[in-house]
Structure 1
Amino acid sequence: MQVIEKTEDLRRLCEVFREAPFVTVDTEFMRERTYYSQLCLIQVATTEDAAIIDPLAPGIDLEPLLALLADESVVKVFHAARQDLEIFYRLMGRVPQPLFDTQIAAMACGYGDQVGYEPLVRAVTGAQVDKGSRFTDWSKRPLSEKQLTYALGDVTHLVDVYLALQKKLAETGRTAWVAEEMAVLDEPTLYFTSPETAWQRLKLRNIRPKDMGAIVQLAAWREREAQQKDVPRARVVKDEAITEIARAAPTTVAELGALRGVPTGFERSRSAAGLLEAVAAGKAMSRDDIPQKETSGQNQPAPADVVDLLRVLLKRQSELHGVAPKLLASSADIEAIALSDDANVPAMRGWRREVFGDLALKLKHGAVSLGLKGKSVTLINHKA
């Protein structure tokens, strides 16, 4: 088992790995007490070799690895890549390319919605993955042999999973489907929350229009505080406290300290002044400057009967084509299509439209109907 703790050893390893057509990658990190993930371990493997890289080793420079991840001649294979990519985006300023996410590929190959690593390995290779070390403290040193063995297994099994999924995608003509999904992962907004858009993360219900400006400014203030101090958002101010503060609109530290959602003593902290400034800035915003949540543009609810029929069609098409329902169409897609033939949703574009979207419109307008053949749902075409 290679455990890389020196920059020169990492450089030699990456020179070898850059000759491979692909490399599997995984990370172990901690985030319970920080805003940004604390990278604790990096695992990499090819068909020929595997290694563990210790980013916490004194003096190690990860530049050779980051160069490998940026090398577009080598495919980077992850499982459920989002959190790993967030770490590398912060280190590199970009997402590793080209990408292959085995969780997304598995959805296109009929292994279900967002299948976990362990069940996917078992289904594809028959191997058993020991997850006993999953929730250990990866920041502590030295790491045990059990931890290292567990960590390395996350990329060695992934080699076999990738090769099997890649073969199945080629055989079924779905390589382009997955490539389309990989392109979505290149969007920077997935990995960095701008303070100006932080309010969009909040679950806002029954909000008075006059309070919205303060909510926007408070969410931006909290995001900046969390990023600068590298602490979780809730350690600054909890979500529910933001709406309470916006409604109360305190102008003094005494008024702020009287609110239930504000931690005891917070009004005496250095952060209190910034919070009060955010409230004031929000109250001063003109209506035209206050952003609004994006909506479908439809005020009426989707017709329930149409939604129910489309869900049956979705289940039928996902089973027929061996693809996870959520990869074909989300609940929001279904409701949007039920409301409008021109719905601007993923289910009405590209390969999804071919598999589901066009049939959904035909079902809406009676060009086809659903029936039963034995115990299976079938489509009945109606002549014009």
Structure 2
Amino acid sequence: MTPITTTAELAAFCDKLKGQPFVAVDTEFMRETTYWPKLCLIQAAAPSAEAVIDPLAEGIDLEPFLAVMRDPSIEKVFHAARQDVEIFNNLRAMPTPLFDTQVAGMAAGYGEQIAFDALVRQMLKIELDKSSRFTDWARRPLTDAQLTYALADVTHLAELYPTLKARLEKEGRLAWVTDEMSNLCDPANYDVDPENAWRRLKPRKHTAKYLAVYRAVAAWRERTAQLRDQPRGRILKDEAIDEVATQAPTDAAQLDRLRSVPKGFSGSRFGPDLLTAVRDALKDPEGYAPVIERSRVAPSPAAGAVVELLKVLLKARAEDAGVASKLIATVSDLELIANDDNAKTPALSGWRREAFGEDALKLKRGELALVLDGTRVRVVEVRRAPRASAAE
């Protein structure tokens, strides 16, 4: 098997993709030691064409394929697409419209975050050879075994996609997947602006001083990781950002006293820049601190118990619908609902409200009960006895 290594070959292949209803896509990349993912291979398969593309080939221009990714008339099919979407978004080619077979598999009842080989096994009755999965995709030349493994992923993906989509259409659940695809293709999910890096983390306090330093340190780490092309964690761990924000060190001695900061950090090439970021944030903490919207509803003393009940309800409703519970709601969603009937959460809107959210609110109001029937939990309506009149 020979991969595509020239722009002319790639353009000829992409001409075959024009007019196709869909193209199944997968990538092989390396990012264990880098900030930016290193794209090593692209696999693509449509109903009448398939190929393996070598992005590392000297002189190749990926633009013909990126144009396919941008083409709104061709549906792009991935499995567990998030990291692939990130790569193409970085290349300014958001792959829309998108169909993620992992999300679709969850909606079709194949389990939580089902792996590709498991989905192929269940749907196509084929056992995939995964022996080349963890090979070095950046090393050249690639072996026939690597190329065969890589292409098999997209040929099987192209085979199962029509069946999976038809099943969701028949069961009226295709809109569920479409809703998730909109979220996956939201550019905000792949924002690499250092000033927004704090959004991916979980600040523990809400004071202006803490949040200003938190934002500044997160931005410094993101900027440094990008410039050095190193993973964020190799620059500074997440827990260290919280401790720096809490203690707000302004000199080397204060920085070295922090337990989560590596020993001798202040004297490293990073230390002075980090301290500068902290001091700059402290010049105007009120102006620099991000605004975090806080719920106006006071936490319920019984929220913990309510969350546990909601977990049982979610499992029961997911089993009734034959869908993975994680697609309907997460534990974070349940915690929000436990504290606020009007919480801003996907579980209380759209199809999720119909499948679970409305029942969650009824359970909170005592209008539903959970009954153990053998090994299965049933959800039953609670019939309240009418109140006696004053005359009685």
| TM-score normalised by structure 1 residue count | 0.91
Alpha-carbon distance in structure 2 between the residues aligned to 1:363 and 1:348: 14
Specify the alignment match of 1:171 in structure 2. 170
The answer to whether the Cα contact below 8 Å between 2:370 and 2:379 also exists between their aligned partners in 1 is yes
Q: Is the 8 A contact 1:2 1:50 kept in 2?
A: no
**Per-residue CA distance 1:238-266 (angstroms, 9 max, x = gap):** 33333444455444556656766555665
For residue 379 of structure 1, report the CA deviation from its aligned partner: 3.0
- Do the aligned residues in 2 keep the contact of 1:6 with 1:57 (CA within 8 Å)? yes
Indicate if the aligned counterparts of 1:211 and 1:283 stay in contact, CA closer than 8 A.
no
Aligned to 1:141: 140
Contact preservation (8 Å) 1:33, 1:231: yes
RMSD: 2.4
What residue is the counterpart of 1:101 in the other structure?
Answer: 100
Following superposition, the deviation at residue 7 of structure 1 comes to 0.5
Residue 180 of structure 1: CA displacement? 1.0
Task: Give 1:284 shift.
Answer: 1.7
Aligned to 1:358: 358
> Which amino acid in the other structure matches residue 178 of structure 1?
V
User: Mean Cα displacement is larger for which, 172-181 or 252-261?
Assistant: 252-261
SS at match of 1:115: coil
> Residues 164-211 of structure 1, C-alpha deviation per residue, up to 9 Å, x if partnerless?
211110110111111111111121121123212222334545798644
Aligned equivalent of 1:124: 123
Which residue is 1:380 aligned to?
Answer: 380
Q: 1:99 to 1:264 in 2, by over 3 A?
A: same
Q: Is the 8 A contact 1:4 1:53 kept in 2?
A: yes
Q: Which residue of 2 aligns with 1:338?
A: 338
Give yes or no for contact 2:79–2:102 (8 Å, CA) kept in 1.
yes
Deviation, structure 1 residue 50: 1.7
Q: CA distance change for structure 1 residues 373 and 261 in 2, over 3 Å: closer, same or farther?
A: closer
Find the aligned partners of 2:185 and 2:314 in 1 and give their Cα distance: 28
Matches within 5 A, 1:249-288: 249-252=248-251, 256=255, 267=266, 271-287=270-286
C-alpha distance in 2, partners of 1:350/1:381? 23
Match of 2:62, as an amino acid? L
Match of 1:152 in 2: 151
Partner Cα separation in structure 1 for residue 311 and residue 134 of structure 2: 37
User: Gaps (5+ residues) in structure 1?
Assistant: none
Write out aligned runs for 1:1-384 (5 A).
1-92=1-92, 94-205=93-204, 210-247=209-246, 249-252=248-251, 256=255, 267=266, 271-287=270-286, 289-291=288-290, 293-301=292-300, 303-382=303-382
CA-to-aligned-CA distance 1:53-87 (integer Å, 9 cap, x gap): 00000000001000111111110000010000000
Shift, 1:278, TM fit: 0.3
Alignment deviations for residues 255-310 of structure 1 (CA, whole Å, 9 cap, x no partner) = 65676655566545554443222010122223354225554444425533332322
Q: Say which SS state the counterpart of residue 369 (structure 2) adopts.
A: strand
Cα gap change, 1:212 to 1:73, in 2 (>3 Å): closer
**Residues of 1 paired with 2:267 and 2:226: CA distance?**
21
Using the alignment, how far apart are the partners of 1:310 and 1:250 within structure 2? 43
Distance verdict in 2 for CA 1:361–1:269, change over 3 Å = closer
> Larger deviation: 187-196 or 28-37?
187-196
Unaligned runs of 5+ in 2: 385-392
Quote the Cα distance in structure 2 between the aligned partners of 1:281 and 1:316: 52
Specify whether residues 351 and 246 from structure 1 end up closer, same or farther in structure 2 by C-alpha distance, changes over 3 A only.
Answer: closer
Give the CA deviation at 1:370: 2.6
Percent identity, aligned pairs only, is 51
2:6 and 2:60 in contact (8 A); partners too: yes
Report the count of equivalent residues: 383
Counterpart CA distance in 2 for 1:242 and 1:326 is 30
Higher mean Cα deviation, 119-128 or 209-218? 209-218
Residues 296 and 336 in structure 1, CA contact (< 8 A), matched pair in contact too? no
Contact 1:200/1:293 (8 A) holds in 2 = no
- For 1:198, give the aligned amino acid: A
